[in-house]
């Protein structure tokens, strides 16, 4: 900690010290170069090595990269010998690691092999042998001896001394003592064998003993192709494996990705078809064909740009394409519609499309630029949430820029080839001409009704404005009372869930396995469970993104059947909790696998202080508060678990009198526990050296042996009980420090139907009644709540930057702060539509998804206002009064405004309703996990855009008239006076 705390760019340092292990997790700010940070950490750790204990292992430094987590788990299970299972797993691992897309394969559940020397304590005492002598003997007789070649008159020869022990037999034949003519061999005092280290973990698949191969892919490798190759290798290996071994595949990420990509591809196709049908009905075949070219053209250019940057296709990119479908055609619709009018007037296609591109260039460029300005700040989104969501702004920036090229360059060029003078949509052209000439009596249908409503609104602009503002305020009030709260990330169904089994006490590995098996038996017959991968631990695993509870004894990773054939995962987990609630002595926690950047317990209260006793006191008070809340479950904290440890006290003064030391006592104790490592040797069949462990016989390894052990000293054989005592003490817990301060965590989950954010706010008010300042303890809610606050701050900042950029563009375009402000007001007012959309859909306000939806909406709603106000200004320049100009503008722009808005809304509606329409396979489903990701974002845009479209067609003309009507009166008075 002392060496690392001064690292540049360090955001947070969490140190966890447990028995025989220390982990320091460093988090850097997002703008720090991670490769440079790793180099800096290595330098600091090298500086600290000199102060570490002499017998500590070499520190390991590695990057925690979520992209390097396992993407598939291959399991080998069966009632076969451990050696056979491990050998098969090793061979399969070597074949899988040879694949170019596989980074590495880790074998879980495999015990490390050792050479175990079981000594006979009485024989060692009889021969007067000490551990020091035996260890020195092995070290001196298992060496790689370096020699030189000999060169003399007889020639040049190499000289070798084969000093390495290569098998157990050679080890046991080593002489350990010479007594006159008699030589005592190692086999006279011990029995040697190849064995495995004591079991610290175990694994089972569907109830059978197993090992698991966790496969990590290389960054940038195609996950679907890579895992298909892994499956192919496992299928080829099945006939070659020993009888009794079953090979299975669980947690296959490619399966979910294939399903999600297929669903999203279908959504892109459906959205595109819906938009094309809508355009076809409005513009006719030729014009809709030209407009339709904008979609695949922009898609192609956008995907090519992403590919050139080294990005691959993923679900965020695909959703961005769905989102952009309706936006891509906006510019094309405006250009093609104007060209249609010129063609109807008899202009040649070259002239018609050229004039359309020139006339509409600035409005389209301005509207596209404002949309791009909205998404630009999202590129600088930090942390894991930003890494997850960055593909949305990237894809939209590329595709919308491409749509600009399509609208102003490609489509006019194509129109020159496909268009013919006089070919136009007669009905649409008649309507536009009547609107331009002010001959509103010729209008029919929706256009006629809209003009009547607009005329009434223009005559009462103040009333309309006040009415809209009151509606917006009412929407906020209604949502405040009837809304579903806020959440960090969408609650999406998952195919993988976890059941954590917790228990306290000094439980052996066998006792832990028994308790975990009871949980397995309780849920084994559930038809909705496809596979169960069980792990049992002596010590809870450390590291990764989330620490495990210290009393975790086992974890069941459950793979569920396809979502269409089962209940939601949360309902299945509730049943698992009900099925296991009768099991005594254990605590069950369930959670589904998180697919996004969020995760962990719903409530995570962190307490830090320099005073350990003060934190524990405050923690106990908070625990009482939490336990009294019926809406909380799965409470746990970091305090030491109940249990005992044995402390071996050495009276140093007495030990010295007998010629003994603490080090020698420690060696004896290790022979009773994990074994005393004497040296290493490498058999011919092994790739790595094996530890040679000196141990007491298995039946004698218990705590009572400490009273009967003897130690060899210069004064003879001495019982260690002469200077050693044993004492049972309370178990010590892990020591966790945050930036040098002691840290404790209090975590809990909320009951079904309770919003975690609302509950945290409620608990925050409760704990304020405690005197934290006097105790010098700092409480902070971490986890998703903290990320939610950080994300909210970033999105608010990004929104502010986007507003500034948009305002700059609009003022430059219209040379009017009033008109620019009028356009921007639609953004604020459209938030009411967002809230109403979420309320109708029954969705909470997602900080990430709904927040991005509001920002995306800002870029969409301004487009129609820009084109509408541009047309209004042109009519004003022709000398029309404000009301007449506004009325004619509304009538002329109604169709393109509705068309551009409805195309976006229609394109997103399947995502809002969670519909998945597979046109190719002719299937239909509702509620697929792939659509659950984007419901909040889609709903925010559709709700806001629907409300904003009404504002554009009614409120915007009223606000234009509200200012210009007064100016018209002043001009009229001036003309009358003159």
Per-residue pLDDT at 763? 92
Q: How far apart are CA 428 and CA 394, in angstroms?
A: 37
880-892 pLDDT per residue, tens: 888 888 888 888 7
Judged against a pLDDT cut of 90, whether residue 335 lies above it is answered with no
656-665 pLDDT per residue, tens: 888 888 888 8
Burial of 856 (0-12, 13-18, 19+ CB in 10 A): buried
CB 395 within 8 Å of CB 305: no
103-124 pLDDT per residue, tens: 888 888 888 888 888 888 888 8
| pLDDT band at residue 545 using 50, 70 and 90 as cut-offs | very low
Among 68-72, 195-199, 574-578, 579-583, the range scoring the smallest mean pLDDT is 68-72
- Residues near 537 by Cβ (< 8 Å), separated by ≥ 6? 200, 201, 512, 552, 553, 554, 555
Judged against a pLDDT cut of 60, whether residue 526 lies above it is answered with yes
Considering only CA atoms, which of 789, 911, 787, 806 is closest in space to residue 855? 806
Q: How far apart are CA 873 and CA 860, in angstroms?
A: 21
Among 141-150, 304-313, 503-512, the range scoring the smallest mean pLDDT is 141-150
Q: How far is CA 586 from the centre of its chain?
A: 30
- Residues near 13 by Cβ (< 8 Å), separated by ≥ 6? 1, 4, 5, 24, 25, 26, 27, 738, 739, 740
Judged against a pLDDT cut of 90, whether residue 539 lies above it is answered with no
Per-residue pLDDT at 515? 93
Q: How far apart are CA 210 and CA 207, in angstroms?
A: 9
- Residues near 664 by Cβ (< 8 Å), separated by ≥ 6? 130, 131, 132, 711
Q: How far apart are CA 343 and CA 423, in angstroms?
A: 6
844-863 pLDDT per residue, tens: 888 888 888 888 888 778 87
Mean per-residue pLDDT for 23-48? 88
| pLDDT band at residue 976 using 50, 70 and 90 as cut-offs | very low
Per-residue pLDDT at 547? 62
Per-residue pLDDT at 921? 78
Mean per-residue pLDDT for 786-811? 86
Mean per-residue pLDDT for 151-168? 76
CB 552 within 8 Å of CB 588: no
DSSP code at position 154: T
Percentage of the chain modeled with pLDDT above 90: 10
Burial of 122 (0-12, 13-18, 19+ CB in 10 A): exposed
Mean per-residue pLDDT for 421-433? 55
Q: Per mean pLDDT, which of 365-374, 419-428, 724-733, 940-949 is the most reliable?
A: 940-949
CB 458 within 8 Å of CB 886: yes
Burial of 371 (0-12, 13-18, 19+ CB in 10 A): buried
Judged against a pLDDT cut of 70, whether residue 443 lies above it is answered with no
CB 406 within 8 Å of CB 294: yes
Q: Rounded mean pLDDT of the chain? A: 83
Per-residue pLDDT at 230? 92
Tokens found for residue 902: 């409805």
| pLDDT band at residue 621 using 50, 70 and 90 as cut-offs | very high
The beta strand positions in 769-831, using DSSP E, are 778-782
CB 834 within 8 Å of CB 474: no
What would the DSSP string read from start to end of 13-80?
EEEEEETTEEEEEEEE-TTS-HHHHHHHHHHHHHHHGGGS-TTPPPP------GGGS-SEEEEEE-SS
552-584 pLDDT per residue, tens: 899 998 999 988 888 998 899 999 999 998 988
Query: pTM for the full model?
Result: 0.79
Per-residue pLDDT at 444? 65
Per-residue pLDDT at 579? 92
Considering only CA atoms, which of 490, 592, 395, 487 is closest in space to residue 933? 490
CB 575 within 8 Å of CB 526: yes
80-104 pLDDT per residue, tens: 888 888 888 888 999 999 999 888 8
Judged against a pLDDT cut of 50, whether residue 544 lies above it is answered with no
669-714 pLDDT per residue, tens: 888 887 877 777 777 666 677 888 888 887 777 777 777 788 888 7
Tokens found for residue 77: 């299970």
Find the radius of gyration of the CA atoms of the chain: 37
DSSP code at position 561: -
Mean per-residue pLDDT for 188-203? 84
């Amino acid at each position: 900690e002392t060496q690392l705390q001064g690292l540049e760019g360090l955001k947070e340092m969490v140190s966890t010290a447990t028995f025989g292990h220390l982990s320091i997790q460093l988090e850097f700010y997002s703008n720090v170069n991670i490769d440079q940070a790793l180099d800096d950490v290595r330098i600091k750790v090298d500086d600290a090595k000199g102060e570490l204990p002499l017998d500590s292992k070499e520190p390991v430094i590695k990057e925690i990269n979520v992209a390097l987590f396992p993407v598939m788990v291959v399991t080998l299970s069966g009632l076969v010998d451990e050696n056979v299972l491990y050998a098969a797993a090793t061979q399969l691992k070597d074949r899988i690691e040879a694949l170019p897309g596989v980074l590495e394969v880790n074998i879980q559940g495999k015990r490390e092999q050792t050479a175990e020397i079981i000594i006979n304590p009485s024989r060692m005492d009889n021969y007067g042998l000490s551990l020091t002598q035996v260890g020195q003997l092995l070290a001196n007789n298992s060496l790689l001896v370096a020699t030189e070649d000999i060169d003399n008159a007889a020639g040049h020869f190499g000289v070798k001394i084969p000093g390495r022990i290569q098998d157990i037999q050679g080890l046991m034949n080593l002489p350990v003592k010479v007594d006159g003519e008699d030589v005592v061999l190692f086999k006279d005092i011990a029995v040697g064998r190849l064995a495995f280290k004591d079991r610290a973990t175990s694994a089972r698949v569907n109830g059978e003993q197993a090992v698991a191969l966790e496969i990590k892919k290389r960054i940038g490798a195609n996950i679907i192709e890579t895992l298909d190759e892994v499956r192919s290798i496992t299928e080829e290996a099945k006939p070659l494996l020993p009888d009794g071994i079953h090979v299975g595949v669980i947690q296959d990420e490619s399966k979910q990705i294939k399903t999600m990509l297929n669903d999203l591809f279908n959504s892109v196709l459906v959205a595109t078809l819906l938009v094309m049908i809508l355009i076809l009905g409005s513009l006719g075949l030729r014009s809709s064909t030209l407009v339709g070219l904008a979609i695949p053209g922009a898609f192609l250019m956008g995907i090519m740009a992403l590919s050139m940057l080294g990005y691959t296709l993923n679900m965020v990119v695909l959703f961005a394409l769905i989102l952009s479908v309706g936006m891509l055609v906006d510019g094309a619709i405006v250009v093609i519609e104007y060209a249609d009018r010129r063609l109807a007037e008899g202009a040649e296609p070259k002239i018609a499309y050229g004039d359309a591109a020139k006339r509409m260039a600035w409005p389209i460029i301005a509207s596209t630029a404002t949309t791009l300005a909205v998404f630009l700040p999202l590129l600088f989104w930090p942390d894991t949430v930003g890494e997850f969501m960055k593909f949305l702004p990237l894809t939209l920036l590329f595709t919308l820029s491409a749509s600009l090229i399509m609208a102003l360059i490609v489509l006019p060029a194509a129109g020159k080839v496909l268009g013919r003078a006089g070919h136009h949509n007669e009905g649409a052209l008649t309507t536009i001409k009547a609107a331009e000439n002010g001959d509103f009596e010729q209008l029919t249908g929706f256009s006629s009704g809209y003009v009547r409503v607009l005329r009434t609104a223009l005559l009462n602009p103040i009333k309309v404005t006040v009415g809209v503002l009151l509606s917006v305020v009412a929407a906020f009030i209604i949502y405040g009372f009837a809304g579903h709260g806020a959440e960090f990330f969408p609650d999406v169904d998952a195919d993988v869930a976890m059941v954590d089994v917790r228990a306290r006490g000094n439980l052996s590995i066998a006792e832990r396995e028994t308790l975990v098996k009871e949980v397995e038996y309780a849920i084994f017959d559930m038809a909705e469970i496809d596979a169960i991968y069980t792990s049992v631990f002596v010590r809870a695993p450390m590291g990764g993104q989330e620490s495990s509870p210290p009393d975790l004894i086992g974890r069941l990773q459950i793979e569920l059947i396809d979502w269409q054939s089962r209940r939601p995962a949360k309902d299945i987990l509730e049943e698992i909790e009900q099925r296991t609630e009768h099991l005594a002595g254990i605590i069950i926690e369930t959670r589904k696998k998180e697919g996004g950047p969020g995760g962990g317990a719903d409530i995570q209260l962190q307490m830090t202080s320099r005073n350990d006793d003060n934190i524990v006191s405050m923690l106990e008070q908070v625990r009482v508060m939490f336990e009294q809340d019926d809406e909380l479950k799965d409470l746990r904290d970091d305090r030491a678990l109940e249990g005992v440890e044995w402390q071996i006290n050495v009276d140093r003064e007495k030990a010295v009198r007998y010629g003994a030391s603490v080090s020698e006592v420690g060696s004896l104790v290790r022979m009773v526990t994990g074994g005393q490592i004497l040296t290493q040797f490498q058999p011919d069949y092994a790739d790595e050296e094996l530890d040679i462990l000196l141990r007491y016989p298995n039946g004698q390894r218990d705590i009572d042996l400490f009273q009967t052990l003897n130690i060899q000293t210069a004064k003879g054989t001495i019982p260690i009980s002469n200077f050693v005592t044993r004492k049972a003490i309370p178990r010590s817990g892990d020591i966790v420090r945050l930036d040098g301060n002691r840290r404790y965590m209090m975590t809990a989950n909320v009951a079904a139907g309770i919003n975690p954010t609302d509950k945290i706010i409620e608990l925050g008010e409760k704990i304020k009644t405690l005197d934290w300042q006097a105790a010098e303890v700092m409480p902070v809610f971490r986890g998703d709540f903290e990320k939610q606050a950080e994300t909210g701050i970033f999105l608010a900042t990004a929104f502010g930057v986007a507003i500034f950029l948009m305002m700059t563009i609009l003022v430059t375009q219209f040379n009017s702060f009033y008109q620019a402000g009028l356009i921007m007001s639609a953004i604020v007012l459209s938030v009411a539509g967002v809230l109403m959309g979420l309320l109708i859909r029954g969705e909470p306000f997602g900080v990430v998804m709904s927040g991005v939806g509001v920002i995306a909406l800002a870029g969409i709603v301004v487009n129609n206002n820009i084109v509408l106000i541009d047309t209004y200004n042109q009519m004003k320049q022709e000398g029309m009064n404000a009301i007449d100009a506004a009325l004619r503008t509304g009538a002329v722009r109604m169709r393109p405004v509705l068309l551009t808005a409805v195309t976006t809304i229609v394109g997103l509606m399947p995502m809002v309703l969670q519909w998945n329409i597979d046109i190719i396979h002719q299937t239909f489903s509702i509620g697929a996990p792939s659509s659950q990701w984007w419901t909040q974002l889609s709903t925010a845009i559709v709700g806001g855009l629907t409300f904003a479209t009404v504002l554009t067609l009614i409120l915007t003309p009223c606000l234009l008239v509200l200012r210009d009507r007064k100016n018209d009166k002043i001009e009229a008075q001036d003309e009358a006076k003159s």
